[in-house]
Amino acid sequence: MTGAQALLEALKIEGVETIFGYPGGVVLPLYDTLFFDKRIKHVLVRHEQGAAHAADSYARATGKVGVCLATSGPGATNLVTGIANAFMDSIPMVAITGQVATPLLGRDSFQEADITGITLPITKHNYLVKKVEDLPRIIKEAFHIARSGRPGPVLIDIPKDIFTNQLEFKYPDKVDIPSYKPKYDGHPKQIAMAVKAIAAAKKPVIYAGGGVILSGASKELFELAEKCRIPVTTTLMGKGAFPETHELSLGMLGMHGTVYANYAVTECDLLIAIGARFDDRVTGHIARFAPNAKILHLDIDPAEIGKNVRVNIPIVGDVRRILKVLVEKVDKKDQHAQWLDQVAEWKSKYPLAYRAEGGIKPQAVIELINELTRDRETIITTEVGQNQMWAAQFYKATKPRSFITSGGLGTMGFGLPAAIGAQFGRPTALVIDIAGDGSIQMNIQELTTAVNNRLPIKIIVLDNCFLGMVRQWQELIYDKHYSHTQLCNNPDLVKVAEAYGAVGIRVTSPDEVRPALEKALSINDRPVLLDIVVAKEENVFPFVPPGQAINEMIID
């Protein structure tokens, strides 16, 4: 068979059902094969970045490896932001790019770009296929590397002639990479130390990150928290790892975290970090982060241990496996009632709040979305900026893989293609993209993809005529110099939605919000965009100014 046929065959064996892609010159032979082979659904996007984000989000929504496909040169470079996005958030993804034919490599040929070189720092690994016989092994390894250990994106660059060359297809059963053997079980000695530390703690806090979701450890996290009565704060990536409606939930911590999460972390005597990486948006001033705490760090990636903070008890391994053992072994007699009272007091004294008056409040919109979707299987995707932070604060995620957002890279334009990817991954879920008027335009072309596939996704644009988060910093830190952040000459987003064949609804007064949302939720055969004109200069609070400790928040 040909290399192209072998590729599709291998994808099938790897369990791939849907790929997101865009054709071009050097991938013509592959698209020709796809024309006849209908076993894999190919979703045609309108920009390769959309394909990468959709594949990334498909992976986040399903736990499977997402796959995207692009041609050489500009097609491949257009994937770059999406690959970097998946890399920063440790998302299993395989990106397949076409490349100029092997005799033309390195000659600055038409649409040639050194994509393996370009993506070196933003992939877990990458491959340039030089012989067609290597293709099956490389695909096998790529999927294995993407989904095992700390997951991440892997890129396979395939020259045009490889697609047409013939090979005898035999897919390897096993992967054998002597230099890649991730460690899954936590060291028993370290676990014993952790058990002791938990038993002795008087003010423990769990700080759970995206690793809990990636390893499917929500149940074990829940058991640990309940058994030992430990309050849980999550990172942005960890949203949904622990039900935010639970009494032990502290919501999100960090720059826009809740007051009570930030106070609890600052005051705690044991910080149990699980699948989290002490990002600067979480820690604030690093030397003053959890200053009184012993730090227990569970992570699959040894390089995360001690990268940003000193760690007292590291446990390297799959957090689900470690937590399983930990839950079994912990025996906590002291249920630290005083600490829980203290946390409860902070919670009631400093709830997440906003002033209700003054036009449509974005926070109120999120609260309403939360109320209207509570009984349905819902996936929230977000763009990046104020919309993302309000969503993170006011949407109460109760299940893993229900809150999909660009955490590490902070990619504006992620939310819409992410909604598309999530909807393909989970067709029965209600998918809502919470967007801003800035970010929605960064991948607005993907409305076509959503319309053509009759995806009933809801796009909620919190339209404040500003690049809101940057404006907020300009207001608070740069003396209100609103340098290039006013977006008042935006196009009419309702008309834009309609032009694409979606439903567009504008909402301008607070009493219209509920009926508009209800209407949007009732439309099932196409995307709906709600352009909600919100209070223009609303800020996201709490806010830890850059360089401050996380208990030094501006609250309003």
What residues are labeled active site? 48, 110-111, 160, 469
CA angle 211, 143, 238 (to 5 degrees): 15
In this structure, how many other beta carbons lie within 10 angstroms of the beta carbon of residue 76? 29
Shortest Å distance, C-beta 141 to other proteins: 8
**Rounded-to-integer distance, Cα 91 and Cα 421, Å:** 13
Which residue in the set 121, 173, 375, 524 belongs to the binding site for other proteins (CB under 8 A)?
121
Shortest Å distance, C-beta 97 to other proteins: 16
Work out whether 495 is an interface residue with other proteins (CB under 8 A): no
**Cis? peptide before 542, omega within 30° of 0:** yes
Question: How many CA atoms, within 13 angstroms, populate the side-chain half-sphere of residue 201?
Answer: 30
Site string for other proteins, 170-189 (x = CB under 8 A): -------xxxx---------
Sequence-distant (≥ 6) Cβ neighbours of residue 357 within 8 angstroms: none
Shortest Å distance, C-beta 124 to other proteins: 7
Q: Which of residues 40-79 bind other proteins (CB under 8 A)?
A: none
Alpha-carbon Rg for the chain in angstroms: 24
- Bridge partners (DSSP) of residue 128 are 157
Shortest Å distance, C-beta 273 to other proteins: 17
By C-alpha distance, which of 154, 180, 51, 16 is closest to 93? 154
Nearer residue to other proteins within complex by CB, 301 or 552: 301
- Bridge partners (DSSP) of residue 543 are 554
Residue 159 φ then ψ, to 5°: -60, 155
Nearer residue to other proteins within complex by CB, 177 or 344: 177
Which residue in the set 103, 106, 117, 491 belongs to the binding site for other proteins (CB under 8 A)?
117
Work out whether 306 is an interface residue with other proteins (CB under 8 A): yes
Nearer residue to other proteins within complex by CB, 117 or 427: 117
Which residue in the set 134, 269, 301, 475 belongs to the binding site for other proteins (CB under 8 A)?
301
**Rounded-to-integer distance, Cα 512 and Cα 502, Å:** 20
Work out whether 312 is an interface residue with other proteins (CB under 8 A): no
Among 299-307, 322-330, 464-472, 509-517, the segment contacting other proteins (CB under 8 A): 299-307
Question: How many CA atoms, within 13 angstroms, populate the side-chain half-sphere of residue 545?
Answer: 11
- Bridge partners (DSSP) of residue 370 are none
Nearer residue to other proteins within complex by CB, 306 or 358: 306
Site string for other proteins, 393-412 (x = CB under 8 A): --------------------
Nearer residue to other proteins within complex by CB, 275 or 417: 275
Work out whether 307 is an interface residue with other proteins (CB under 8 A): yes
By C-alpha distance, which of 266, 278, 259, 272 is closest to 228? 272
Which residue in the set 42, 46, 60, 124 belongs to the binding site for other proteins (CB under 8 A)?
124
Q: Which of residues 451-470 bind other proteins (CB under 8 A)?
A: none
Site string for other proteins, 125-154 (x = CB under 8 A): x--x----------------x---------
Nearer residue to other proteins within complex by CB, 20 or 87: 87
Among 30-38, 120-128, 156-164, 391-399, the segment contacting other proteins (CB under 8 A): 120-128
Among 27-35, 47-55, 300-308, 459-467, the segment contacting other proteins (CB under 8 A): 300-308
Q: Please tell me whether residue 543 adopts helix, strand or coil conformation.
A: strand
- Bridge partners (DSSP) of residue 265 are none
Among 95-103, 158-166, 301-309, 446-454, the segment contacting other proteins (CB under 8 A): 301-309
Work out whether 297 is an interface residue with other proteins (CB under 8 A): no
Helix axes 218-228, 319-329, angle to 10 degrees: 30
Handedness of CA 484, 487, 488, 491 (dihedral sign): positive
The bridge status of strand 18-21 relative to strand 41-44 is parallel
Residue 459 φ then ψ, to 5°: -110, 115
Sequence-distant (≥ 6) Cβ neighbours of residue 123 within 8 angstroms: 83, 87, 95, 152, 153, 154, 155
**Rounded-to-integer distance, Cα 400 and Cα 63, Å:** 10
Nearer residue to other proteins within complex by CB, 107 or 310: 310
Work out whether 99 is an interface residue with other proteins (CB under 8 A): no
List residues binding other proteins (CB under 8 A).
116-117, 120-121, 124-125, 128, 145, 177-180, 301-303, 305-307
